[in-house]
């Protein structure tokens, strides 16, 4: 009997998974709703459509995106081959002609005899057989309802309101101090105390900062619960001081007094290597976030591993729902890949497709498939999306989620290279052992 897998969605994750599985001799039933039906952001009939930027980000091995690409090549990425065909000049980044890229991926998929295409909207997750759901961050309608039913109630989010995330090691510990308000419980938060002048300068910069243009798809969504910090700042000089920047219950150890205002940082992971800016969901342009948020005392040299965004984004509560093999705990024959799992970004989504494909092939053949080691970027991302996390939000590749080196390296460039080399060696071993 032939081995068969169903894939929903011919986007970045779905195409990577389909091409790799077919190359392993699996028959793939691939369902894609375009051109019968388009999401509000998809415009073209081709597969693997890049709906916004045409950059697939950095290529240097000592960068998080470059490392991710190196790992994808070791896993047999077809999309990176297509990207080579469609490459345009972009300095140290891999950028593509988006139409050529999509045409190349579509050609690859259509030329494979083992991939059977169905151009139709799927409204229900199939009840039987191994299925990969890779319908992306704009999954909606009947299919979203079917996923909600399978996952139980409110485990599917439709909106992303993420505050920026910085690395712990880039904070100025002379200024930032650990404390909880009124000394209650553990000192779980890091605090960035403002004096009056610093706060006024920060407020003025925030009000005047340039905002990102909203995509049509985001304009459709009115999100009541989360006001962008710049909108709050625009309501008056003191509004933030009575909201997320309130200083009550805190004493700055440097002055012995209550600060004029205070930004709290909350840990993002168990290892406390990443912190988010509490209450800082924002629509500012990324460059502006760096400029203005670096005015917060203690964040002058902060490394931003993720900027704030507010946009439509359908994603699972993966820590509760998914196993590290990317299938549902309650319905192990249903796998997920791409942005819908919380792997954030084009290449991250594609990498997730490769990871799910490997896990599915192993399941088909009755073999075990442990996730990649945690010192690889892919393994660290899987751990991030499946580890316990009450405030789970999607996450892209970044060096902050990798476990530290056994021997600390002070120089950042050298440290990143050492982390990348360690990851590549681990990924090589894993990729070979899971075939
Ligand atoms: C507005 C927006 C802008 C973004 N911009 C960027 C960016 O600039 N850079 C970046 O790195 N990331 C960006 N992202 C995040 C993410 O990287 C992309 O959305 C990426 O395309 C996700 O890949 P995917 O394979 O998970 O989903 P997609 O690439 O969206 O693929 C999903 C596919 O499934 C199909 N589909 C959906 N529902 C059904 C159904 N019911 N039946 C059949 N087919 C279906 C869709 O038509 C689509 O082809 C953006 C996300 C959004 C929402």
Ligand 1 centre from 137 Cα, in Å?
Answer: 5
Q: Rounded to whole angstroms, how far apart are CA atoms 12 and 351?
A: 9
- Which of 2.50.20, 1.10.10, 2.40.30, 3.30.429 is the CATH number of 162-310? 2.40.30
CATH number among 3.40.50.2300, 3.40.50.300, 3.50.50.60, 3.40.50.720, domain 4-158+313-433: 3.50.50.60
CA–centroid distance, residue 312 to ligand 1 (Å): 11
Quick check: CB of 316 below 6 Å from ligand 1? no
Evaluate whether 379 touches 363 at the Cβ level (below 8 Å): no
Phi, psi of 327 (to 5 degrees): -110, 160
Mean pLDDT of the chain: 93
Tell me the percentage of the chain whose pLDDT exceeds 70. Answer: 97
Which atom belonging to ligand 1 lies closest to the Cα atom of 340? 26
* pLDDT tens digits along 343-387: 999 999 999 999 999 999 999 999 999 999 999 999 999 999 999
Task: Please measure the distance between the N-terminal and C-terminal CA atoms of the chain and give it in whole angstroms.
Answer: 20
The pLDDT-based confidence of 157 (bands split at 50, 70, 90) is confident
Q: What is the mean pLDDT of residues 223-249?
A: 88
Residue 80 has what pLDDT? 98
pLDDT (tens digit per residue) in 173-227? 999 999 988 888 788 899 999 999 999 999 999 999 999 877 766 664 544 456 8
Q: Which residue ranges make up each domain of the chain?
A: 4-158+313-433, 162-310
Closest atom of ligand 1 to CA, residue 353: 25
Looking at the chain, the whole-number percentage of residues with pLDDT higher than 90 is 83
Rounded mean pLDDT, 37-54:
93
Residue 417, C-beta contacts closer than 8 angstroms, at least 6 positions apart = 61, 62
Residue 300: CB partners within 8 Å, gap ≥ 6?
172, 294
Q: Is 41 touching ligand 1 by the criterion CB < 6 Å?
A: yes
- pLDDT, tens digit (0-9, with 9 covering 90-100), for 100-149: 999 999 999 999 999 999 999 999 999 999 999 999 999 999 999 999 99
Give the position, in ligand 1's atom list, of the atom nearest the Cα of 13. 25
The Å distance, Cα 396 to ligand 1 centre, comes to 14
Pairing of strands 115-119, 177-178: unpaired
């Amino acid at each position: 009997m032939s081995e068969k897998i169903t894939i929903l969605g011919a986007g970045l994750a779905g195409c990577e998974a389909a091409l790799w599985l077919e190359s392993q001799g699996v028959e793939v039933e691939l369902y894609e709703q375009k051109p019968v039906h388009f999401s509000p952001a998809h415009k073209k009939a081709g597969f693997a459509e890049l709906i916004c930027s045409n950059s697939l980000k950095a290529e240097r091995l000592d960068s998080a995106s470059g490392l991710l690409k190196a790992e994808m090549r070791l896993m047999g990425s077809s999309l990176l081959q297509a990207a080579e065909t469609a490459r345009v000049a972009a300095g140290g980044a891999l950028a593509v002609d988006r139409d050529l890229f999509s045409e190349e991926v579509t050609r690859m998929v259509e030329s494979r005899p083992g991939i059977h295409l169905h151009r139709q909207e799927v409204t229900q997750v199939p009840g039987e057989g191994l299925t990969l759901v890779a319908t992306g961050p704009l999954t909606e309608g009947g299919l979203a309802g079917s996923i909600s039913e399978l996952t139980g109630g409110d485990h599917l989010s439709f909106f992303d309101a993420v505050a920026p995330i910085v690395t712990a090691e880039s904070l100025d510990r002379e200024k930032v101090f650990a404390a909880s308000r009124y000394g209650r419980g553990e000192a779980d938060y890091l605090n960035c105390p403002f004096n009056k002048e610093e706060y006024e300068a920060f407020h003025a910069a925030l009000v005047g900062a340039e905002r990102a243009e909203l995509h049509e798809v985001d304009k459709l969504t009115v999100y009541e619960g989360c006001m962008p910090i710049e909108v709050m700042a625009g309501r008056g000089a003191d509004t933030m001081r009575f909201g997320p920047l309130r200083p009550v219950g805190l004493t700055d150890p440097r002055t012995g007094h209550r600060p004029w205002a205070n930004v709290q940082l909350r840990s993002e992971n168990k290892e406390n290597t990443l912190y988010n800016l509490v209450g800082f969901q924002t629509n500012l342009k990324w460059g502006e976030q760096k400029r203005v948020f670096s005015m917060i005392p203690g964040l002058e040299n902060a490394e931003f591993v993720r900027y704030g965004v507010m946009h439509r984004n359908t994603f699972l509560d993966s820590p509760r729902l998914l196993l590290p093999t990317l299938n549902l705990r309650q319905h192990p024959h249903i796998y997920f890949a791409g942005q819908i799992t919380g792997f954030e970004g084009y290449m991250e989504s594609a990498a997730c497709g490769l990871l799910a494909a490997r896990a599915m092939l192993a399941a088909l053949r009755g073999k075990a498939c442990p996730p990649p080691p945690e010192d690889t970027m892919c393994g660290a991302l899987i751990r991030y999306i499946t580890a316990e996390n009450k405030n789970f939000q999607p996450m892209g590749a970044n060096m902050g989620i990798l476990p530290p080196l056994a021997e600390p390296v002070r120089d950042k460039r050298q440290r990143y290279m050492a982390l990348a080399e360690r990851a590549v060696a681990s990924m090589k071993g894993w990729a070979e052992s899971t075939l």
